[in-house]
Amino acid sequence: MASSRSSRTRVGRYELGRTLGEGTFAKVKFARNVETGDNVAIKILDKEKVLKHKMITQIKREISTMKLIRHPNVIRMYEVMASKTKIYIVLEFVTGGELFDKIAAKGRLKEDEARKYFQQLINAVDYCHSRGVFHRDLKPENLLLDASGCLKVSDFGLSALPQQVREDGLLHTTCGTPNYVAPEVINNKGYDGAKADLWSCGVILFVLMAGYLPFEESNLMALYKKIFKAEFSCPPWFSSSAKKLIKRILDPNPETRITTAEVIENEWFKKGYVPPRFEQEDVSLDDVDAIFDEAGDSQVLVVERRDERPSQPVTMNAFELISKSQGLNLSSLFEKQMGLVKRETRFTSKCPANEIISKIEEAATPLGFDVKKNNYKLKLHGEKSGRKGPLSVATEIFEVAPSLHMVEVRKSGGDTLEFHKFYKNLSTGLKDIVWRSGDDANGDLTGAELPHS
Q: Which long-range contacts (CB under 8 A, 24 or more apart) does 289-293 make?
A: 291/80, 291/81, 291/82, 291/87, 292/56, 292/59, 292/60
Residue 43 labeled ligand binder: yes
Parallel, antiparallel, or unpaired for β 39-46 and 304-308?
A: unpaired
By the 8 A CB rule, do 232 and 215 touch?
yes
User: How far is residue 199's CA from residue 105's CA, in Å, rounded to a whole number?
Assistant: 25
Asked whether the beta carbons of 365 and 371 are under 8 A apart, the reply is yes
User: Where is 90: in which H helix or E strand?
Assistant: strand 86-92
Judge contact between 207 and 179, C-beta under 8 A. no
46 is a catalytic site residue? no
| Residue type at 338 in one-letter notation | M
- Strands 304-308 vs 377-386: parallel, antiparallel or unpaired: unpaired
Say how many CA atoms lie within 13 Å of 24 toward its Cβ.
17
Q: Which of 38, 46, 112, 137 is catalytic?
A: 137
Q: Which ranges of 302-449 does DSSP label H, i.e. alpha helix?
A: 318-323, 353-364, 416-430
Q: From the annotation, which residues make up the binding site for ATP?
A: 43
Question: What residue numbers does the annotated binding site cover?
Answer: 43
The residues annotated as belonging to the active site are 137
